[in-house]
Amino acid sequence: MPGFDVWTREADAALAEDCGIGPYCSDAAQAAYEAGSPDWLPERLRGANVVRLSQSFVTSFLMCPRSAVAERRATYGEAAAAGIIAHAIADGRISSQAVDPDIDARFRQEKLDELGAAGWFPADPDSFHRDAAYKADLLTEVYLEKYHGQYAEVLTEQSGQLLYDVRSNPNTRVDFILVTGTCDLILVSESGWRVGVDWKTGSKMPEPWEVQRYGIQRRVYAPMFDLEELHFEYPYALKPENNRKPNWVADRYKGVISCYSNSDEREAFRQQIGEQFLPIAEALLESTDYNDHHIGPSNWHCSAKWCQVFARHECIGAQTELAWVRKSHEDAAKDTRSISTKRGKQ
């Protein structure tokens, strides 16, 4: 599912007219109307101005609106794709409570098919699958050492949403904001205590205070899934020497950022999200053309690896050092030629 979607009153009215919806319309017309409505849109919100935002899209939008909107349909780098495959394999092992090569292969292939449908294929399949398998083993080891057998219920890949009715605001055309997200793992104790786990396969960790105080994902997931605890696990960031897996007991579980919230905090987060996401929803209702959205400050995301607008040389970010921009674009061109060459040899 893309990072955002927009449905307007005008779009709904046009669809209804095309399908012949009216007081005495046929069952076929009603069926066509329902089939033409977006899958993500709740039936009761049809006919309204609705903006759907994923929490990951909001995080990207706050860094650079133009890049985030351009990446509406997901594009992937090698590292991100390997993380997706690792997630899938680990989820399969946890949900089946077994490490089985056949289960690994099934979950891996399902995600590879999704990536292929989005136009992504590994430049070096052997290296890619080794990296994904290594990350999956790390995630599995973290689960076994820290969470396995400790909870009454184990739920993988849980989707959730928060709905905000903003029709009482006279200064906006947005009627509803639908915020969506997926939690990798939810663990429930005998007493009903709920713990969320989000697997991170990046090689760098943010500062804990950044996640705890400002993290969009934390503030969205706590009320969305009613979590008392949320753990962001960064096992790969430890970079074990000689590719050996870390000794999790000896390392006392470094590589994790843990956040906690009570019911009052979760309700406060719920209210804050609606207020803070409204300007983003308004901007998208106005236009979904990435050229109409401003550029964020240059940072690590200004590269071909993270931004297709930059890779196409359509943007230099807010960077004023032209030498830096020139070198970045030269590197982007080299990366693109390298990937194309490797794909041509397959």
For 54-107, the pLDDT digits (tens) are 998 998 898 889 988 988 766 666 777 888 999 999 999 999 999 999 999 999
Domains, the chain: 4-53 (no CATH), 78-284 (3.90.320), 295-345 (no CATH)
**pLDDT tens profile 290-340:** 989 988 877 777 776 677 777 777 776 665 555 656 666 666 565 544 444
Q: What 8-state DSSP symbol labels residue 3?
A: S
Residue 80 CA to its chain's centroid (Å): 11
Supply the angle between the helices 216-224 and 55-63 in degrees, to the nearest 10.
160
Radius of gyration of the chain (CA): 22
Residue type, position 216, single letter: I
Q: What percent of the chain has pLDDT over 70?
A: 82
Beta strands, E only, the chain: 4-7, 50-54, 153-165, 176-188, 194-199, 229-233, 256-260
Question: Which of 109, 96, 205 shows the shortest CA–CA distance to 140?
Answer: 96
Mean pLDDT of the chain: 84
Structure tokens at 67: 């890049």
Higher pLDDT, 57 or 247: 57
Residues 99-134 pLDDT 10s: 999 999 999 999 999 888 877 788 889 999 998 998
Q: What is the percent of the chain with per-residue pLDDT over 90, rounded to a whole number?
A: 53
pLDDT value of position 108: 95
Contact 111, 85 (CB under 8 A): yes
